[in-house]
A and B are shown apart, each in its own frame.
Chain A
Amino acid sequence: MGLLLQKEFFILAGIFVLGSIGSLLFRRNNNMANWWANSCAALGSLFGILLSGNVLLYNNIYTLQLPLTFSLLPVNVKIDMLSAFFILIISVVSLLSSIYAIGYMRQFYKEYNLGLFGFFYNFFILSMILVASANNALYFLFVWEIMSLTSYFLVIFEHKHKESIKAGFLYFIMTHIATGGILLAFLILYSFLGSFDFDVIRENVSSLPSFWISIVSLLMLAGFGTKAGIIPLHIWLPKAHPAAPSQVSAIMSGVMIKTGILMLIRLFFDVIPITPLWFGLLIIIVGAISSLLGVLYAISEHDIKKLLAYHSVENIGIILLGVGSSLVFLSFDLKSLALLALVAALFHTMNHAIFKSLLFLGAGSVVLATRTRNIEEYGGLIKIMPQTALFFLVGAISISALPPFNGFVSEWLTFQALFLGVMQFDIFTKGVFIFGIASLALTGGLAAACFVKAFGITFLAKPRSQKSENAKESSLLLRLPMAVLSLACLALGVFSIFVIPYLESLAGSLSIFAGISLVLVEGITFHTQNNSSSLAIIPVLIALLLTFVFSFIFFNWISRRQKEKIYSTWDCGGNLTPRMEITATSFSRSIVMIFSGILKPTKQINREYDDSNIKYFTKSSTVSLRMNDLYNKYLYCPISNFVYKIANFLRRIQCGIVNFYLLYILITIVILLILVTR
């Protein structure tokens, strides 16, 4: 069995490499390159599903160590249940996105080179799978870097747009600062434990002084948190995700940022599971702030892909609420509660991957049809693109955590984890949990408001511009993946009782949860600790469907003699035009004003007059509404100014006189000699 699995792993890697190199070879023919790259990516993802399914179903932990490699880069692969779970998510989303891409990327045939794109795309997916299966810090950093670089090239794919290049640059900088933090953390671990191997670190980590554990934990949180997009390290995310082609946004938002979550779980629950209490509380606070601010920024955003990107920040926050409460429970040795919280986090990770990629694919097909990302130019698309609209609606309901879809179930579980936290502990810890509940409750409501805006302005009412009037429903290749993802959203919600036990045994397979078992599901109902809360989705769905159908038939029967007349909307006697419809800006304005303390909206009015002496007759007036970016103003600008200053100061070293350079070399040699001979 093991040998077979090894073969599968090499075949998997081989398919992606073949896809990369093949599409480079086909680079002169965009059509061929597109088909080749995406078919290979889809096939490889299919293999990923098989491989991870094998591990998940039969609990075969798969390990691979290549003896042939250099000592500097030990290939050390281990796919346990946790890795397999993430590989499964990565593969499912990549499979569907690749099918979507075959149709979607056609728009770029004349402008860009798809051969190069296919090269990076295949390596990107492969590197994510490798990241999820790495079992050695050096090897991990190597594949992590490949993931960052390939995704950078995917972000700047539309390199004729200046914003893409700028977004890519920001992403490049942020992701490398993050990698720097991670590298430093692993180096600290190495200096104490003498190994980069996760297994060795796991065995010896208890010998580490608690101070250094705190430092390592903080560095890891900052490093992986940047990849995951926690506030205030999120700034690359709303810029980079929209810049990439939509199926890449779906993969980046749906699964790439989850590799950050995977590594946080891997490290703090598996490799160094001895984090202090304050660290768990810190994660809860970070999660609460990320979720609340993420959704607030999303509401004020009118670029549909940026809006979705900010919702990724929000959902990462929700996942971290689960992870953080689990860590807090662990530090009090309440293992069964910790298991429950971790299951909530894992389930939300999975659900977010599904509905966020669905939403990005939906947004992509709208962008393809209208050639704009500005929500204000959409409208009325539900009649032009009925199927895309339905799929986007499913995604919107799921992300707004409305029953009976999947987002509701995982948020419900997260709520339960936080509720259980309030019932234990001292008053300070309780306070943190209450803060978590408050932000989660507000987040849920605001997310619903945001998606009423996103769906309503995009798909309902009349088209607001020529672009959306001329739109067409997207092709079958685009609709099929969305249909599958929509069904998955419903199925994961309704049949969550079958999914949760799997997640439970998956989380339980981590060594710290050895011997802990939870019976979360009984019959068709979830139970939490002491049966204090229970949820049964299937009866709810059946009851809703039955009453809906019944009321439809019954009330139509009552007024069976009455006519339905189709007529224009009441227009107050005027002529109702799309210009009179509510816009996304005005829809969200009231929430923006209420949270003006955080969002800092600004309003600038410019008027031009016919005669500048008589200011009664305006020729034209423009209003520009903006948000002040607090992070740039108070965090990033000071830092970058500081770096500039230092750089300017250091520039003096480079004076252009050869004698000075010789002096530098001399000084360096002297210092080195002193250091070596000491």
Chain B
Amino acid sequence: MSIILFIFQALLIPGLSPLIVGIIRKIKARFQNRQGASIFQPYRDLWKLFHKDEVISETASWIFRYTPYLLFAVTIVISAGIPMISTMATFSPLGDFLLFVYLIALGTFFLALAGLDTGSVFGGTGSSREMTVAALTEGGLIFSLFSVALLAKTANISEMVNAISVVPFSMLAPVVIAFIAFYIALLAECARYPFDNPATHLELTMIHEAMILEYSGKRLALVEWAAANKLLIFISLGTSIFFPWGIAQNVEIVPVAIALILFLIKILVMAVSIAVLESTIAKLRFFRLPDLLLTSLVLGMIAIIITVI
């Protein structure tokens, strides 16, 4: 039973991530008074891209060729360590939160190299911006997760989820602050507003899209899919750690079914919040981003200080 649940849970992220992207796009379209494409359009896009011929730059080396597979593999491996439905069905060696942060960094590292690999100006600029943002995000991410770890007295994500769900409400002030810090880090890591505009291909504004400009065909599909996975990973990590109520701590049918429904609701709420945010605020100028990331870092620190006092 727990094996089945484990496989189901591990496939949940790659399975649902295009849907989340589709939902966010749909909501944004409605905000802009457009009809918008179907929420299943990202699946069709992926399918289409997998059946297109591919152009690879003659300048590119093996780094460019193999990065998409590595990136996709990293997101799959990470998602096996995140409890979404049941904490019993996660792969516990992957549960350490620092490992999570640094596995994400591994993917970013190679994607930035791939951006430089083709010798295009866009790719290089995108890599530079991506690494700048990623370097500054890491602090806020580590601090927000660490403050929860301090409260839960464990650094394992599954055990953190179990511990936070029984912490009394009066103790949760640091968790709320840490969540804000985490949310900012999420927006930065997943290339959302106000850090990056996922919908544009204008060289002034783009970070993530600039790096992957030279990809096409199946490799583009993999990179896009991996980016969607990353978004859902961050969303589900955020909901699981900061709002862990309802996640099953065993593998029985009824709690797991309830947990699954709750999980879907939670990620839907997060997706809506991201879409609303993107429709209502403007993208920040690049050199204003450090302020926001510093805010995330300081909020994380405050959360830690409240926890340990």
Q: Which residues of A line the B interface, CB within 8 A?
A: 379-380, 382-383, 397, 400-403, 408, 412, 415, 419, 422-423, 427, 430, 434, 437-438, 441-442, 444-446, 448-449, 451-453, 455-457, 459-462, 524-525, 530-536, 539-540, 543-544, 547-548, 550-552, 555-556, 558-559, 561-571, 576, 578, 580-582, 586-591, 593-594
Q: Are B121 and A452 in contact (CB under 8 A)?
A: no
Proximity bits, B122-143, A CB within 8 Å = 1, else 0: 0111011101101111110011
B contact residues around A569 at 8 Å (CB): 57-60, 118-120, 214
Query: Does more than half of chain B's interface fall in helix, strand or loop, or is it mixed?
Result: helix
Q: Are A437 and B146 in contact (CB under 8 A)?
A: yes
Q: Is B173 part of the contact surface with A, judged by Cβ < 8 Å? A: no
We find that the number of chain B residues with CB closer than 8 angstroms to chain A is 83
What's the nearest-Cβ distance from chain A to residue B39, in Å? 23
B contact residues around A564 at 8 Å (CB): 53-56, 217
Q: Are B77 and A460 in contact (CB under 8 A)?
A: no
The complex places the Cα of A525 from the Cα of B106 at a distance, in Å, of: 21
Q: Are A562 and B72 in contact (CB under 8 A)?
A: no
A contact residues around B125 at 8 Å (CB): 582, 586
- Who on chain A is nearest to B64 by CB? A460
The 5 A-B pairs at the shortest CB distance, nearest first, are namely: A582-B124, A445-B135, A461-B119, A456-B116, A449-B131
Q: Is B284 part of the contact surface with A, judged by Cβ < 8 Å? A: no
B contact residues around A566 at 8 Å (CB): 55-58
Instruction: Name the one of A582, A589, A590 contacting B116, with C-beta atoms under 8 angstroms.
Output: A582
Q: Are A547 and B77 in contact (CB under 8 A)?
A: yes
What's the nearest-Cβ distance from chain A to residue B172, in Å? 19
Tell which of B24-32, B152-160, B175-183, B237-245 binds the partner: B152-160
Q: Are A422 and B134 in contact (CB under 8 A)?
A: no
Q: Are A567 and B305 in contact (CB under 8 A)?
A: no
Q: Which residues of B line the A interface, CB within 8 A?
A: 50-63, 66, 69-70, 72-74, 76-77, 80, 91-96, 98-99, 102-103, 105-106, 108-109, 112-113, 116-121, 123-125, 127-129, 131-132, 134-139, 142-143, 146, 149-150, 153-156, 213-214, 217-218, 221-222, 286-287, 290, 297, 301, 304-305, 308-309
A contact residues around B214 at 8 Å (CB): 569-570
Instruction: Name the one of B117, B155, B301 contacting A434, with C-beta atoms under 8 angstroms.
Output: B301
Q: Are B287 and A594 in contact (CB under 8 A)?
A: yes
A contact residues around B92 at 8 Å (CB): 534
The complex places the Cα of A412 from the Cα of B96 at a distance, in Å, of: 10
New contact pairs (12) apart from A568-B59, A576-B119, CB-CB < 8 Å: A402-B109, A403-B103, A403-B106, A408-B102, A445-B136, A448-B131, A448-B134, A459-B61, A530-B153, A544-B73, A555-B218, A594-B290
B contact residues around A380 at 8 Å (CB): 59, 119
Q: Are A558 and B132 in contact (CB under 8 A)?
A: no
The complex places the Cα of A562 from the Cα of B77 at a distance, in Å, of: 28
Q: Are A448 and B58 in contact (CB under 8 A)?
A: no
The complex places the Cα of A459 from the Cα of B117 at a distance, in Å, of: 9
What's the nearest-Cβ distance from chain A to residue B108, in Å? 7
What's the nearest-Cβ distance from chain B to residue A445, in Å? 3
What's the nearest-Cβ distance from chain A to residue B49, in Å? 9
B contact residues around A543 at 8 Å (CB): 77, 80, 91, 94
Instruction: Name the one of B60, B120, B155, B222 contacting A533, with C-beta atoms under 8 angstroms.
Output: B155
The complex places the Cα of A621 from the Cα of B113 at a distance, in Å, of: 32
A contact residues around B56 at 8 Å (CB): 564-567
B contact residues around A552 at 8 Å (CB): 66, 69
